[in-house]
Amino acid sequence: MAASNSGDDVPLSAEAAAALGEGMWLVFGRWTALQMAVENQWGGRDSLAKADQLGDEILSWFCDSKGPHYYEDLVDMMYKSISESFNAVFEDGSIEEVAEQFLIMHEECLQSNYSLIEKLRNAPVQQNAVSQSKQVAAYDNDDSDSSDDETDTQMVDDEAAAPEEMVVDKPKPSKPVPDADGWTVVPPRRGRGKN
C-alpha cells in the first residue's frame, strides 16, 4: 500500500476523526506486542501513557497533516516511536499490519464508511492474548527437544486447551533418572546467554 489515494488534501470531519480514533484504540487493544510492552512496563512505569502518546501521534498525523499519507512514513514513525518509548523492536510484522489497517480505516473514514470500525467494535476481544503468549513462551523454555514446526503446533494446542490441561501446569520430573548404562542426563540450564 503506497499511500492514501482519495481525498489526500481533504481533512477528516470531526465525526470521521472521532471514528478513526476509536478504531485505532480498538486495534491497540488487540495488538499483542504493544499490550505486552505496556503490561511488562518496557517503557517504565508510564508505559501506558507512552502507548496513549503513540496513538495520539498517529491520529494527529492523519488529522493534522496534509496528504498524501504514505505507508512507509507511517511504519517508520511507528518503529521510531516504539523504539524510543519502549526500547523495543517489534520484529513480528505487527507494526506493518497495524499501519496497513490504520491506512485502510483512514481511507474509509474519508468516505464516511465506518464498516471496519464497526466490525472491530463488535468483534470479541481476546482478553488473554498476553497471558497466552506468556504461557506459550514458558512452555517453549521447558521443552528443549522440540523443533520450530512442533512449537507452532504446540502454540495452537496450548491456546485451545482447557486451563487445567495447560502444559505449564504439568509437574516437572523431580530429578534425572539414570539410563540402562547408569548414565544420568542432566538437562541444560534455561535462559543463560540468550537475549
Question: SS3 string of 22-89?
Answer: HHHHHHHHHCHHHHHHHHCCCCCCCHHHHHHHHHHHHHHHHHHCCCCCEHHHHHHHHHHHHHHHHCCC
Which of 96, 122, 148 terminates a domain? The answer is: 122
Q: Quick check: is 2 in a domain?
A: no
**What pLDDT digit, counting tens, does each position of 57-66 carry?**
999 999 988 7
Collapse the DSSP code of 70 into the 3-class scheme (helix H, G, I; strand E, B; otherwise coil) and give the result: strand
Q: Quick check: is 150 in a domain?
A: yes
| Cell (9 digits) for 195 | 537475549
Note whether 110 and 146 are same-domain residues: no
pLDDT of residue 43: 92
Q: Quick check: is 192 in a domain?
A: no
**What pLDDT digit, counting tens, does each position of 125-152 carry?**
765 444 444 444 444 444 444 444 444 4
Mean pLDDT, the chain, whole residue set: 75
pLDDT of residue 64: 87
CA pseudo-torsion sign 65, 70, 72, 78:
positive
125 within 8 A of 29, measured Cβ to Cβ:
yes
Domain hosting 139: range is: 129-168
Q: Quick check: is 24 in a domain?
A: yes
Residue with cell 518503529: 79
Q: Quick check: is 181 in a domain?
A: no
Which of 64, 96, 122 terminates a domain? The answer is: 122
pLDDT of residue 188: 59
Q: What's the pTM value of the predicted model, to 2 decimals? A: 0.61
Note whether 104 and 150 are same-domain residues: no
| Mean pLDDT, range 169-194, rounded to an integer | 59
Q: Quick check: is 189 in a domain?
A: no
5 within 8 A of 107, measured Cβ to Cβ:
yes
